[in-house]
């Protein structure tokens, strides 16, 4: 063991020309701190004035002492040996990195020199501008925030159904207080070849009713509760008003022939599923009331539970509307047998193309023996020579039963032209 200690101190003595006195003092200070220097070896390193009293003595150099001292000098030896290795690694790293940086700087300097040789000042400035743009794409990429708001700005424009029912985050963020519900339009001129001149059963016919009249509809909705109980569903209130106006019947003060009021409360489920190549986006469940606000015998009203299903594919929308009439007593029923004329639902299809809207509606009572129903075709189109996206030209054709509540049991054959609020652009 004594030989091992002597070898360790000899290692230190051999390297004393390359180790400063400050470093050697640091080694002996560690020996003193950890009690690793006994009095027998305090002055083995010549050239240092060290007295035995300067260090804590453990007495004789026992076996445990030798083991601790051996470990200490081994660590000091490893530290000295590794120092050149670390220096060489740093030199290698900078030597490998410098050519890359130097090549890039050389290329930049060469490009700037080429730009400086251009005689035309405009072309020279353009050259420097192009060089600047080539050097900054990485910085522009880093500075772009990867947030939901930034992504929302670059996504495609929401679909018509998505905007109408606020199905995506962007539509909900930019949502107005009131939205379009059904179509809002005005047809200043319509012509009905089969007007209902006997709205009251067994009543006197209205001889002064004209075939030409105006027809208009106002429809809107507003969201009452978004994300009901934290789920993907919203509560909406919708209102639709449809009027028939004998505006050209000046001999009888141009009266409103009939007006239908239709409020409804709808719980809309935001969905996203595939069905026969279509994307299912909405499911409405709610309650609907429709009446004309008239007194007997012209009063018409009914209440329904409704369920609507909305689908889309690219520029095509499909809305399947179903309903169940809440039963009324015979005494309170203003519309006896209305299901036989209006059926139990209807289908709406719309296609949007370059600012145009092509729509069709179809309903049927699905009764083979006494089949009745209705169909409507509509076309909304941009107005020529008018730059306004808020309204469009509009043509509508209706044939069948139930165009209005007063005429639910009388067939209409009407065509009209006018304007419609553009809710699809």
pLDDT in tens, 6-39: 544 554 555 545 555 565 666 656 655 555 555 4
Asked whether residue 374 carries a pLDDT value surpassing 90, the answer given is: yes
Pairing of strands 356-364, 233-245: unpaired
| Options 291, 350, 392, 412, the catalytic residue | 291
291 carries an active-site annotation: yes
SS (H, E, C) the chain: CHHHHHHHHHHHHHCCCCCCHHHHHHHHHHHHHCCCCCHHHCCCCCCCCCCHHHCCCCCCCCHHHHHHHHHHHHHHHHHHHHHHHHHHHHHHHHHHHHHHHHHHHHHHHHHHHHHHCCCCHHHHHHHHHHHHHHHCHHHHHHHCCCCHHHHHHHCCCCCHHHHHHCCCHHHHHCCCCCEECCCCEEEEEEEECCCCCCCCCCCCCCCCCCCEEEEEEEEEEEEEECCHHHCCEEEEEEEEEEEEECCCCHHHCCCEEEEEEEEEEEEEEEEEEEECCEEEEEEEEEEEEEECCCCCCCCCEEEEEEEEEEEEECCEEEEEEEEEECCCCCCCCCCCCCHHHHCCEEEEEEEEECCEEEEEEEEECCCCCCCCEEEEEEEEECCCCCCCCCEEEEEEEEEEECCCHHHCCCEEEEEEEEEEECCCC
At residue 207, the pLDDT reads 77
The 10 Å Cβ neighbour count of residue 422 is: 19
- Per-residue pLDDT reduced to its tens digit, 320-368: 999 999 999 888 898 889 999 999 999 999 999 999 999 999 999 999 9
Per-residue pLDDT band for 425 (boundaries 50, 70, 90) equals: confident
Question: In the Cβ-directed half-sphere of 165, how many Cα atoms lie within 13 Å?
Answer: 28
Asked whether residue 41 carries a pLDDT value surpassing 60, the answer given is: no
354 alpha-carbon distance from chain centroid: 24
Looking at the DSSP bridge assignments, the partners of residue 404 are: none
- Per-residue pLDDT reduced to its tens digit, 192-220: 999 998 888 767 777 788 999 999 999 99
At residue 57, the pLDDT reads 40
Asked whether residue 139 carries a pLDDT value surpassing 80, the answer given is: no
State the average pLDDT over residues 216-230: 97
- Per-residue pLDDT reduced to its tens digit, 281-327: 999 999 999 999 998 889 999 999 999 999 999 999 999 999 999 99
At residue 151, the pLDDT reads 47
**In this prediction, what percent of the chain has a pLDDT beyond 70?**
68
Look at 421 and 131; give whichever has higher pLDDT: 421
- Per-residue pLDDT reduced to its tens digit, 83-131: 455 555 555 554 455 455 555 556 666 777 777 777 777 777 777 777 6
Phi, psi of 39 (to 5 degrees): -65, -25
At residue 82, the pLDDT reads 53
Per-residue pLDDT band for 275 (boundaries 50, 70, 90) equals: very high
Q: State the helix-helix crossing angle for 21-33 and 63-116, rounded to 10 degrees.
A: 130
State the average pLDDT over residues 376-381: 98
Q: How high does pLDDT run on average in the chain?
A: 79
| Dihedral angle sign, alpha carbons of residues 382, 383, 388, 394 | negative
| Options 111, 289, 299, 356, the catalytic residue | 289
Closest CA to 398 of 92, 191, 118, 115: 191
Query: What whole-number distance in Å separates Cα of residue 110 and Cα of residue 125?
Result: 16
Rounded to two decimals, the pTM is 0.64
At residue 301, the pLDDT reads 95
At residue 76, the pLDDT reads 52
Query: What whole-number distance in Å separates Cα of residue 383 and Cα of residue 381?
Result: 6
356 carries an active-site annotation: no
Asked whether residue 422 carries a pLDDT value surpassing 70, the answer given is: yes
Q: Which domains, ranges and CATH numbers included, belong to the chain?
A: 1-144 (no CATH), 155-421 (2.40.230.10)
Asked whether residue 59 carries a pLDDT value surpassing 50, the answer given is: no
Looking at the DSSP bridge assignments, the partners of residue 375 are: 362, 399
């Amino acid at each position: 063991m004594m030989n091992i200690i002597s070898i360790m101190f000899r290692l230190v003595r051999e390297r004393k020309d390359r180790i400063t006195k400050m470093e050697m003092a640091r080694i002996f200070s560690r020996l003193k701190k950890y009690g690793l220097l006994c009095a027998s070896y305090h002055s083995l390193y010549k050239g240092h004035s060290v007295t035995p009293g300067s260090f804590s003595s453990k007495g004789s150099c026992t076996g445990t002492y030798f083991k601790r001292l051996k470990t200490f000098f081994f660590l000091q030896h490893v530290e000295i040996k590794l120092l050149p290795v670390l220096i060489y690694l740093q030199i290698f790293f900078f030597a490998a990195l410098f050519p890359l940086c130097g090549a890039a700087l050389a290329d930049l300097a060469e490009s700037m020199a080429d730009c400086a040789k251009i005689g035309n000042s405009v072309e020279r400035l353009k050259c420097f501008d192009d060089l600047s743009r080539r050097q900054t794409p990485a910085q522009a990429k880093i500075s772009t925030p990867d947030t939901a708001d930034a992504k929302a700005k670059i996504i495609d424009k929401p679909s018509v159904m998505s905007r109408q029912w606020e199905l995506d985050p962007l539509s909900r963020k930019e949502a107005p207080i009131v939205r379009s519900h059904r179509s809002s339009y005005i047809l200043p001129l319509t012509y009905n070849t089969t007007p209902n001149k006997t709205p009251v059963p067994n009543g006197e016919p209205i001889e002064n009713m004209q075939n030409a009249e105006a027809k208009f509809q106002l429809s809107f909705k507003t969201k009452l509760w978004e994300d009901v109980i934290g789920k993907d569903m919203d509560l909406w209130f919708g209102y639709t008003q449809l009027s028939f106006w004998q505006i050209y019947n000046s001999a009888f003060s141009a009266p409103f022939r009939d007006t239908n009021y239709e409020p409804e409360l709808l719980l809309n489920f935001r969905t996203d599923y595939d069905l026969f190549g279509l994307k299912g986006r909405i499911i409405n469940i709610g309650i609907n009331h429709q009446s004309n606000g008239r007194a007997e015998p012209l009063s018409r009203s009914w209440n329904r539970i409704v369920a609507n299903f909305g689908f889309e594919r690219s520029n095509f929308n499909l809305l399947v509307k179903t309903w169940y009439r809440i039963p009324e007593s015979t005494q309170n029923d203003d519309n006896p047998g209305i299901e036989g004329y209006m059926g139990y639902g209807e289908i709406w299809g719309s296609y949007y193309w370059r600012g145009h809207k092509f729509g069709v509606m179809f309903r049927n009572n699905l009764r083979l023996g006494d089949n009745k129903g209705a169909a409507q075709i509509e076309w909304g189109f941009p107005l020529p020579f008018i730059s306004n996206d808020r309204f469009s030209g509009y043509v509508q054709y209706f044939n069948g039963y139930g165009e209005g509540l007063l005429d639910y049991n009388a067939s209409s054959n009407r065509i009209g032209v006018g304007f419609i609020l553009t809710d699809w652009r």
